[in-house]
Chains A and B, each alone.
Chain A
Amino acid sequence: MLPELGHFTLILALFLTALQAFFGIAGPALGRPRWSAAVIPALAGQAVMIVTAVICLEQAFITNDFSVLYVAENSNSALPLFYRVTALWGAHEGSLLLWILLLSLWSLAVAMRSRTLPEAFASRVLGVLGVVSFGFLLFTLLTSSPFARLDPPAPDGRDLNPILQDPGLAVHPPILYTGYVGFAVAFAFACAAMLEGRLDQAWARWTRPWTTAAWAFLTCGIALGSFWAYYELGWGGFWFWDPVENASFMPWLVGTALVHSLAVTDKRGLFKSWTLLLSILAFSMSMLGTFLVRSGVLVSVHSFAADPSRGMFILVFLAIMIGGALTLYAWRAPLLKSPAGFELGARESFLLFNNVLLVIAAATVLAGTLAPLISDALKLGTLSVGPPYFNPTFMLSMLPLTALLSVGIHAAWKRGRLRDSQRALLISFVAAAVAGTGIVFGLYARGSLISLIAATLGVWILISSLVDPVDRWRRGLSLPRAVVGMTIAHLGLGIAVIALTTVQSFTVERDIALSPGESAAVGAYTLRFDGVQPVEGANFNGIGGRFVVSRNGHPVAALNPQKRQFWVQRQVTSETAITVSRGDNILLALGDDLGAGRWSVRMQIRPLVSLVWLAALIMAIGGAVAASDRRYRTARASVAAPSGAAPEQA
């Protein structure tokens, strides 16, 4: 009976979100505060219903209830309990339920903090969130209910896709989705402000922590996905420009722009209409990502259970939500006035460039992602767009961005006299150029112009990131968490730029043939082959190669890549061996038996690749620290008493 209960609670949740949306938006519009008072009870109700639905589905997974179609398709009685729990979001229907659950939890979090917001505004924000929840619940109930029954029940389930039987699955989707869904909050704040026709600096201050938190989750989720693909799936790379990866990367780029634009709106009251637009765009990109993944218009390694009718539903929903928000924007944004201007060399200019470059980057990724679709529709033939397009176009907008970051952070707000900081700029640039060249030639003894430029820019970010905190420290000012978080995130970016440069420029990949006892030099390492030996496994037997990797005559690691033959299906798989030495990620794969004891082997050396993920994690931590700044929590006091009657901070 529990699956029916789950289905029923989802239907109830649908009605409650409709109430939440109606009362939330109509209450302030018609001046009925008592309607608005019903918003939070409706929200609490839908949250309880959705949590109940999730519990019902989990119960079906845990008890192996294969009369539920979704469970029969994605679980198996032999599956360990941990994966039976995580299998909930192993396919389309369950992921959608997870989406809805997370949106509900974000909405609750906003409601709990809503006491610092004016009542009418809070009502509108929760109302808009209600509209989003309603749309996704309707989508689930009409096209993809996870509670559909299977009659007669399957004797056993079809099992979770083995690729997904990994601890990575447990953490990657929920964290990524938390980020995706979190942008709905910024979207709701933007819509509420437009409905009200008023947008001030306090608005930006309310929106900032939510946006930054969502951004931090998204950063972390993307990094985890990339890490997981590299280590577990053995795809041999960390980023593939796959449509689904792009779907998570586009909201990240726009979200990054939004975080910066909000800073300007908060501090200086500028960029208001631009910030509004970015708030809408960031969430639009999340929705577009959902559309691309679910509709099957693009074929990807990630697409599961794509269905054109689902795609049409999401598209209509997308058109209503985003189209509605953009119409509201076209109507309201012209009314927003910026109170003050700024000079060309001021920090505002650099943040504007930052925004423009990030949006351009997102647009180029979007164009590349949709290009196959467009060329197919126009019958220009099937087009495959891959790294040869994405890598250079992305770098074209990212290199200027990193350079502008370092210059811009030296600039003061409002006043555009870079001359004041000319010396600091010059010194830091020279230091960065020396260190960058040092890294490239010191570690790898060779380098192209582009690797030198990129490494220099990376180090320059590291140095420039410290400008703000050092300046504050010298002037005896306190270091608020917002500044600490920003500094951490920028340091993370600097590390990422350096790591990406070394990976892109100095990865060595070679196929070699070796007889036992022979050695070969690969990059800075020497690979010695000691022969092969048979290996036995539970359901396979195979051959393991014995290799020793050494550097300058000192052994670094003994690696044993294997070729396994599974005896049931006679399928041969290759188990790569990975080790890390001095930041280099060394990957060894056993190739073919060339006869007479000779074997082919592939060796890849990726310098500093682990730093890419570490850097992303550092950025996410920076975001989390910034989002927890006290300043955002005491926003009400500063709004209620603009004359400074109440001290904002101790």
Chain B
Amino acid sequence: MNRFLLPLGIFGLLVVVLVIGIRHSPEKGIIASPLIGRSAPEFSLPALMQPGGTVSTASFKGRWYLLNVWGTWCGECRNEHAMLLRIKENGAVPLVGLDWKDDDAQAQAWLAQLGNPYESIGADRSGRVAIDYGVYGAPETFLINPQGIVVFKQVGAITEEVWTGQILPRVKGQGSR
């Protein structure tokens, strides 16, 4: 046996570990977020639809909600919008919007035109809250449980499969207990 083959053998083992690592890493397109399993960062933002009001995480404690990060400058958000309206119609879990680095007037016009799926919307004008949540691209959605823990994160638009396969089972499973 050639001792010079040893490095190749060790490297082979390493590749196997890494392949398992990739295979095992969450489903395609879903980036494991360090936030999952932890408390959702608290925020208190000016409410987009009620001048002078605020939207804060404290008011959602005790129930499930979806925190959806969006902006009028985001093309994919427009595609996602129809799905969000269906989620609102379904009524299983309320949607809270985080209007990310947006112009208030434009955002209000967008909702007037396309319909408003959100229960309330915080205007994150400078993007600080999005940083706390580690948002890297819109749309991005966090599923937060009644204890205020982030249980799931969707990067990119919510699709029918994500809604029925990932979000609903989590909300239903917990709710029936």
Q: Which residues of chain A have a CB within 8 Å of any CB of chain B?
A: 72-73, 150-152, 154-156, 158-159, 161-163, 273, 277, 280-281, 284, 291, 295-297, 299, 301, 303-309, 311-312, 315, 318-319, 322-323, 326-327, 329-330, 333-334, 370, 373-374, 376-377, 539, 566, 568-571
Measured CA separation A156–B136 after assembly (Å): 16
Closest residue on chain A to residue B22 by CB atoms: A311
Instruction: Select A568's contact among B22, B29, B75, B126, beta carbons within 8 Å.
Output: B126
Query: Which of chain B's residues 40-95 have a Cβ closer than 8 Å to chain A?
Result: 43-46, 54, 71-75
Q: What's the minimum C-beta distance from B61 to chain A, rounded to whole angstroms?
A: 17
Return the contact of B11 from the options A291, A323, A374, A539 (Cβ within 8 A): A323
Partner of B4, one of A301, A306, A334, A568: A334
Instruction: Please measure, in the bound complex, the distance between the C-alpha atom of A475 and the C-alpha atom of B19, giving whole angstroms.
Output: 58
Pairwise interchain contact B73-A373, C-beta atoms closer than 8 A = no
- Cβ of B24: which chain A residues have Cβ within 8 Å of it? 373, 376-377
Count of A-B contacts with CB under 8 A? 125
Contact, CB under 8 Å: B31 / A296 = yes
Q: Are B8 and A158 touching (Cβ within 8 A)?
A: no
Chain B interface (Cβ < 8 Å from any Cβ of A): 2, 4-5, 7-8, 11-12, 15, 17-22, 24-25, 28-29, 31-34, 43-46, 54, 71-75, 100-101, 106, 124-129, 131-132, 136-138
Docked-complex contact B25 and A297, CB < 8 angstroms: yes
Distance between Cα atoms of A363 and B32 in the complex (Å): 26
- In Å, the complex CA distance between A72 and B32 comes to 24
Task: Determine how close the nearest CB of chain A comes to the CB of B38; give it in whole angstroms.
Answer: 12
The B contact surface, by secondary structure, is mixed
Which residue of the partner chain, among A330, A539, A571, contacts B2 with CB atoms under 8 Å?
A330
The 22 listed contacts between A and B (C-beta, < 8 Å) are A73-B137, A151-B75, A156-B101, A158-B100, A162-B131, A297-B22, A299-B34, A307-B29, A308-B25, A311-B22, A315-B18, A318-B15, A329-B7, A377-B20, A377-B24, A566-B128, A568-B45, A568-B46, A569-B43, A569-B45, A570-B54, A571-B43
Instruction: Determine which residue in B7, B19, B131, B132 has the highest number of CB atoms from chain A within 10 A of its CB, and name it.
Output: B7
Q: What is the CA–CA distance of A333 and B3 in the complex, to the nearest angstrom?
A: 10
Assembled-state Cα–Cα distance A373/B106 (Å):
44
| Contact of B22 with A162 in the complex, beta carbons under 8 Å | no
Cα separation A164 to B74 with both chains bound (whole Å): 22
Shortest 9 CB-CB contacts between residues of A and residues of B: A297-B21, A326-B8, A154-B73, A377-B20, A373-B21, A333-B4, A330-B5, A330-B4, A570-B44
Q: Is the CB of B8 within 8 A of A377?
A: no
For A331, give the chain B residue with the smallest CB separation: B4
Complex alpha-carbon distance, A271 and B21, angstroms:
35
A315 closest partner in B (C-beta): B18
Chain B residues with CB under 8 Å of A539's CB are 126
Cα(A543)–Cα(B117), bound, Å:
39
Chain B residues within 8 Å of A158, by CB = 71, 73, 100-101, 127, 137-138
List of A residues within 8 angstroms of B25 by Cβ: 295-297, 308, 311
